[in-house]
């Protein structure tokens, strides 16, 4: 929080990295290392969460087919 200058939780924008595989092979999300961005300054950093052992860097996502 100090590095990013975050004073309130509302100042943080959390993003997760998603990897989309080849068509039909699905997608995964990195839950261990979200990207935290200070909404006011635009400064961001990828962090490893305190309970990272509980989560995966390749958490499967359900992907629906796009309508034609």
Integer Cα distance of 53 and 36 in angstroms: 19
Q: pTM of the entire structure?
A: 0.77
Long-range contacts of 3-6 (CB under 8 A, 24+ apart): 3/45, 4/36, 4/37, 4/38, 4/41, 4/43, 4/44, 4/45, 5/38, 5/40, 5/41, 5/43, 6/36, 6/38
- State pLDDT tens for residues 28-64: 999 999 999 999 999 999 999 899 999 999 999 876 6
pLDDT at 25 over 90: no
């Amino acid at each position: 929080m100090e590095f990013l200058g975050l004073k309130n939780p509302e100042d943080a924008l959390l993003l997760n990295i998603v990897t989309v595989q080849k068509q039909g092979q699905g997608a995964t999300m990195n839950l261990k290392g979200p990207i935290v961005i200070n909404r006011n300054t635009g400064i961001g950093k990828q962090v490893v969460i305190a309970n990272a052992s509980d989560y995966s860097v390749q958490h499967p996502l359900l992907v629906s087919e796009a309508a034609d």
